[in-house]
Amino acid sequence: MAGRLAGKIALVTGTAGGQGRAAALLFAAEGAKVIGCDLKVDEDRETVAMVKAKGGEMVSLTPTNLSNEDQVKALIDFAVTSFGDFDIVYNNASAARGAPADELTLENWMFSLNNELTNMFLMNKHVLEVFKRKGGGVILNTASVAGIVGAGTPGNVPVHLAHNVTKAGVIRMSQHLAIEYSPWNIRVNSVSPGVILTPATGFWVDAIGEDAFTDLLLVKRLGQPEDIAKAALFLVSDDASYITGANLVVDGGWVASGGLGRPNPELSKKFVAIIDRYRTSAAGKPGA
């Protein structure tokens, strides 16, 4: 199949739904042979069927638990056996558990670390062997705006401590590995989605309302899995051959606006009136 990933082999994690499914569909449509994986067997089989129905090539190993080192190694072996040494790894899968800090159990803290950071560490560690053989490669790790700014929720409600910490860790791990793996022609970047409508967030949006999320943004809509898949496609393709150690924020302006969204029209009027007085005052302050 022709396309921006023609001739490439891409391993994508968490392909049972959301952003991983969107990436599997887009990467395959752009010519890549795709290897997927997930804990969810039926939904992941659906993704494989969707890719094939569109004429793409995809195999998947389910169930795979990416926080288990042996299973990560087995997935890499499966990928190599299926299509040969691959070119791209897109570490998309993750899962976290939240609570206020004083109620967050050690078990749920460790669950979040294991399924958001350790899983990506294990994959990043073991793909080096494949990429060394291949003479290069591309890694894209999924971080989040939650790893950069605020509490990662509308209203800055502090219930995502572990998630925020792991996602900040993913950004730093990617920068670190961009340096460490550069002698082998391996590019490592991260992508930081904002609020994206997926199985992981749909219930939040239903419960709290769409406006609570879009109020944080400059682009007044919820993100779609395809918004992230398109950014991921760019970063893993040769179009991004000069980009490594970067974190691409794809968030409708959440981070840029500090989660405060578009200018408030009422406050804007008051501020403009005060600024006008500054402009005309000799002392440079209003009323002087």
Binding site for ligand NAD (CB under 6 A): 14, 16-20, 38-40, 64-67, 92-95, 115, 119, 142, 144, 193, 195-196, 198-201
Task: Tell me which amino acid residue 220 is.
Answer: K
Task: Report the residue closest to ligand NAD, judged by CB.
Answer: 18
Q: Which helix (H) or strand (E) holds 250?
A: strand 247-250
Is the Cβ of residue 120 or residue 264 nearer to ligand NAD in the bound state? 120
Q: Considering the complex, what minimum distance in angstroms separates the CB of residue 271 from ligand NAD?
A: 32
Residue closer to ligand NAD by CB (options 108, 201) is: 201
What are residue 258's phi and psi, to 5 degrees? 65, 25
How near is the Cβ of 234 to ligand NAD at its closest, in Å? Answer: 16
Shortest spacing between CB 18 and ligand NAD, in angstroms: 2
Q: Which CB, 67 or 82, lies closer to ligand NAD?
A: 67
Q: Which residues contact 50 (CB under 8 A, 6 or more apart)?
A: 21, 25
By beta-carbon proximity to ligand NAD, the closer residue of 111 and 184 is 111
Report, in Å, the least distance between residue 17 CB and ligand NAD. 5
Shortest Å, Cβ 237 to ligand NAD:
19
Q: Identity (one letter) of the amino acid at 193?
A: P
Burial of 85 (0-12, 13-18, 19+ CB in 10 A): middle
Considering the complex, state which of residue 39 and residue 255 has its C-beta at the smaller distance from ligand NAD.
39
Query: 105: number of CA atoms within 13 Å, CB side?
Result: 4
Cβ atoms of 54 and 34 within 8 Å: the answer is no
Report the distance separating Cα 273 and Cα 183, nearest Å. 57
